[in-house]
């Protein structure tokens, strides 16, 4: 952790030090500063809706990495290695510690459809190169309410911010694609079937309405609740015609795993 290089797993102190020292490329600095300002600041007088994330950024308990491509094998293999390292250490950090991943912005202007394609390419690549089997208690069918992305044997909830959210500021990132990986374990005690989880959901949804100036997205739901689906929540649609109708990810428990991350 905190090793040299763009793809390293970093804590906030290290990111801040590298930003101040000019040791990160401009796009990486812009990504982190946009993220930090959004979470600890306000939009038209309203705080960021997810107070868990805002508190973690304010307290310095988040972890971060940078990835300079959504398509190049070398970059995505490095991301997979960093994600495995994160899964080894996140429980040793205080609070609910996610991994925020900042991707280098594309050289051409991306449409919303391009960002959906980029996200699912990244997740599919990670799955194909996963050294661990898909968890036995997680379905492989994304149309199951208990399906969710898994990697390194850990079910997790990856959420995204992107530049195409003109009307949904809580999901807006002006720089490029950003994925926050949150293992299912960080939601212990605040899931939909708990009183604390229901309170948290009510507070966050009220904050979304104030922050975005619009009601929460129609696809917002809870994992494991009948009728809700996990995968559309990773990158909410702004234009339904540009979003996939079905989950683009193909999951299997017994695929011949690609060798790049095996033998770690």
Report CA 179 to chain centroid distance, whole Å.
3
At residue 264, the pLDDT reads 44
What pTM did the predictor assign?
A: 0.89
Give the separation between CA 89 and CA 24, rounded to whole angstroms.
24
Give the separation between CA 61 and CA 119, rounded to whole angstroms.
25
Instruction: Phi first, then psi: give them for residue 37, nearest 5 degrees.
Output: -60, -40
Give the separation between CA 238 and CA 242, rounded to whole angstroms.
8
At residue 184, the pLDDT reads 87
Q: Are 121 and 195 in contact (CB under 8 A)?
A: no
Which residues of the chain fall short of a pLDDT of 50? 262-264
At residue 189, the pLDDT reads 53
Say if residue 215 is exposed, middle or buried (CB neighbours under 10 Å; 0-12, 13-18, 19+): exposed
pLDDT in tens, 218-246: 556 665 566 678 999 999 888 999 999 99
| 117, β-bridge pairs | none
At residue 49, the pLDDT reads 83
């Amino acid at each position: 952790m905190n090793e040299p290089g763009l793809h390293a797993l970093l804590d906030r102190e290290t990111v801040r030090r590298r930003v101040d020292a000019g040791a990160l490329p401009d796009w990486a600095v812009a990504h982190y500063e946009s993220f930090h300002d959004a979470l600890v600041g306000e939009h038209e007088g309203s705080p960021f809706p997810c107070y868990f994330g805002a508190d973690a950024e304010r307290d310095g308990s988040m972890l971060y990495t940078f990835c300079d491509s959504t398509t190049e094998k070398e970059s995505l293999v490095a991301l997979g290695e960093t994600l495995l390292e994160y899964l080894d250490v996140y429980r040793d950090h205080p609070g609910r510690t996610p991994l925020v991943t900042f991707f280098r912005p594309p050289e051409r202007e991306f449409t919303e459809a391009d960002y959906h394609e980029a996200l699912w390419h990244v997740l599919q690549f990670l799955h194909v190169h996963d050294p661990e089997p898909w968890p036995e208690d997680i379905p492989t069918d994304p149309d199951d309410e208990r399906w969710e992305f898994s990697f390194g044997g850990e079910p997790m909830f990856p959420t995204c911010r992107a530049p195409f959210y003109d009307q949904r500021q809580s999901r807006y990132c002006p720089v490029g694609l950003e994925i926050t990986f949150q293992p299912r374990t960080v939601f212990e005690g605040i899931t939909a079937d708990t009183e604390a989880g229901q309170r948290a959901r009510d507070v966050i949804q009220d904050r979304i309405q104030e922050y975005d100036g619009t009601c929460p997205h129609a696809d917002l739901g809870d994992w494991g609740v009948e009728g809700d689906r996990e995968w559309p929540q990773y990158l909410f649609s702004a234009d339904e015609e540009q979003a996939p109708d079905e989950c683009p990810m193909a999951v299997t428990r017994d695929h011949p795993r690609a060798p790049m991350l095996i033998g770690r």
